[in-house]
Structure 1
Amino acid sequence: MIDSLLQPLNYEFMQNALLVAVIASTICGMLSAWLVVMGWSLMGEAVAHSVLPGVVLAYIFGAPLAVGAFVFGMLAVGLIGGLGRSTVLKRDTTIGVVFTSLFALGLVLISRTPSQTHLQHILFGNVLGTSRTDLLQVAALALLTAVVLLCKRRDFTLLTFDRTHAHAIGLPVAALSATLLVLLALTTVTALQTLGVILVVAMLIIPGATGFLVARTFPVMLGISAAVGAAAAVVGVYASWWWDISTGGAIVLSASALFTCAYLFSPHRGVLPRAIRSRMPQAAQPSS
């Protein structure tokens, strides 16, 4: 067992892959806790898909891919907000219009750009091709995101659960919401190399959903969400080595397996414990 765990680490590309997967998935898990509680899961999907044309344009002009992704992520946020303010459309409708349009633009650009194999990695991830430079870039973006999230976690948490109270005590509600959206764009950029545009959406939702089913307080939920992301990354990378399967897909499936366990066995919200409690005689049930 020890040899099976250590053997992949003899190769530098596996060391890079494991580190970048853990970093990216952990930061996705942290942000996922806020997205799930605030009902912003669809916004996470929108930003993740909308960065594609920015990545392609950055590749065409020789600019850093992360810069193009971040610019178009913020563009998507601005367009969604602008449509919401200037029309009577509901928020989910404006999100759908913007991200599908930008994602389609990205697909068209990919189809007309040489060296499509490299750009396809943006769609589906290429964690095994991570270089030391990529690793340092991901680590820097993730560290910046984590520092802001942890330093402002109380303000973000109050904004999440009671926006009116946050405004009443003088918190800059609009600025905090904008900061979360910027962090969402940064997190998406961080996870692109590992999971790709399509699968990063899963890691922005599944860890938070898992933590929500297990935890009863938000700080615990935040820790569980981050731990689910990290654990899924480790299991997924090793599974891709042992069984020669897609690394990004294996990471997401590992997170899905943890969510399934929480859905079935969580002491407070799991299906099976609730079914058992419902069958207990009324007198035997513990008082709340």
Structure 2
Amino acid sequence: MLEILQYDFIQNALIAGVLISIAAGIIGSLVVVNKITFLTGGIAHSSYGGIGLAIYLGIPVLFGATVFAVLTAILIAIITLKNRTRIDAIIGMMWASGMAIGIIFVDLTPGYNVDLMSYLFGSIIAVSKEDLIYMSVLDIFIISIIVFFYKQILAVSYDSEFASLRGINVKFFYTLILILAALCVVAAIKAVGLILVIALLTIPTYLAESFASRLSTMMIISSILATIFTILGLIVSYTYDISSGASIILVAVVFLAIVKLFNLKK
């Protein structure tokens, strides 16, 4: 099995897997604690519009997806802060609109025939050096934000009313959390794709909750679990010649099922 490490694309995939897992573990913890899984899903699928626009304009796909995802996150933050009563319908419309915009721009791109399935379901073995640089910068940025604003983010995540009374700008940090989620989603596109990204963000965190009593501990455990799932998923993908994104999520689901069955027997 170790002979596969001689290939550059496998080395890049492993590095990408670790980098994405760190971001997914940290942001996934915030997504679960803040109960914004559905909002993050809306951001993920809306970012497909950025992918289509980037392809049409001939600019880097990750750049286009990042700008689109961040703008969507800000818009969602504004809407949810003002009116939460119909947020499910609004997110559903944004979800569908982003996908539709992406498809239309791809259709309008002359001579474009690249397989778009890699953006929907991931293709971590196709990551480039530029992608690795993007993921590395993202990890540094996320970790820096979390370390610098940890107390404020912790307060907003668990009790926004108390945080507001303490003078913390709840709107700013809520928006910041959604922006970080958007950036993480874009980075994870290469690993598991837009369709499966929410599973990578939530399954490791769901498992980590059983072993952590603090948010910081949950983030660390989630990152470790996401790394394990990603590496094992890559091994399964290479061994059986199947989709890497689906393999990673399947490994995570199997682990989750085993843990739940074990807990039921106690």
TM norm structure 1:
0.84
> Does residue 186 of structure 2 align to residue 189 of structure 1?
yes
User: Which residue pairs with 2:126 in the alignment?
Assistant: 129
Instruction: Say if 1:246 and 1:89 are closer, same or farther in 2 by CA, change over 3 A.
Output: same
The worse-fitting range, judged by mean Cα deviation, of 9-18 and 130-139 is 130-139
Residue 16 (structure 1) aligns with: 12
Cα deviation, 1:221-271, whole Å, max 9, x if unaligned, reads 222211111111111111111111111111111121222233233xxxx33
> Mind listing any 5+ residue stretches in structure 2 that lack a counterpart?
none
**Deviation per residue, 1:113-162 (Å, 9 max, x gap):** 33232433222222111222221222212221222123322221111111
Alignment of 1:1-288 (within 5 A): 4=1, 6-81=2-77, 83-84=79-80, 89-113=85-109, 114-265=111-262, 270-273=263-266
Is the contact between residue 125 and residue 197 of structure 1 (CA under 8 Å) also seen in structure 2?
yes
**1:276 aligned residue:** none
Tell me, what secondary structure is at the counterpart of 1:204? helix
- What is the distance in 2 between the residues matched to 1:41 and 1:199? 13
1:106 positional shift: 1.8
Take 1:220 and 1:116, find their aligned partners in 2: how far apart are those partners? Answer: 44
Structure with greater contact order relative to length (CA < 8 Å, sep ≥ 6): 2
In the alignment, is the contact (CA less than 8 A) between 1:126 and 1:194 conserved in 2? yes
**CA deviation after TM superposition for structure 1 residue 48, in Å:** 0.8
- Once the two structures are superposed, what CA deviation does each residue of 1:87-114 show, in whole Å capped at 9, x if it has no partner? 7842222211211221222233334433
The answer (yes or no) to whether the contact 1:34–1:208 under 8 Å persists in 2 is no
Q: Distance in 2 between matches of 1:136 and 1:74?
A: 19
Is the contact between residue 73 and residue 175 of structure 2 (CA under 8 Å) also seen in structure 1? Answer: no
Aligned residue type for 1:271: L
Write the letter of the residue equivalent to 1:224: I
Greater shift in the superposed pair: 204-213 or 73-82: 73-82
CA distance in 1 between counterparts of 2:84 and 2:233 reads 43
Mind listing any 5+ residue stretches in structure 1 that lack a counterpart? 274-288
**8 Å contact from structure 2 (residues 41, 198) kept in 1:** yes
Identity %: 29
Question: Bigger CA drift: 24-33 or 89-98?
Answer: 89-98
Question: For the Cα contact (< 8 Å) 1:213–1:263, is it kept in 2?
Answer: no
Taking the aligned partners of 1:215 and 1:245, their CA distance within structure 2 comes to 34
Q: Aligned equivalents of 1:216 and 1:84: distance in 2? A: 28
CA contact (8 A) 2:121 2:195 kept: yes
Q: Which moved more, 1:159-168 or 1:78-87?
A: 78-87
CA RMSD of superposed structures (Å): 2.0
Q: Is contact 1:35-1:208 (8 Å) kept?
A: no
The CA deviation at 1:84 is: 4.7
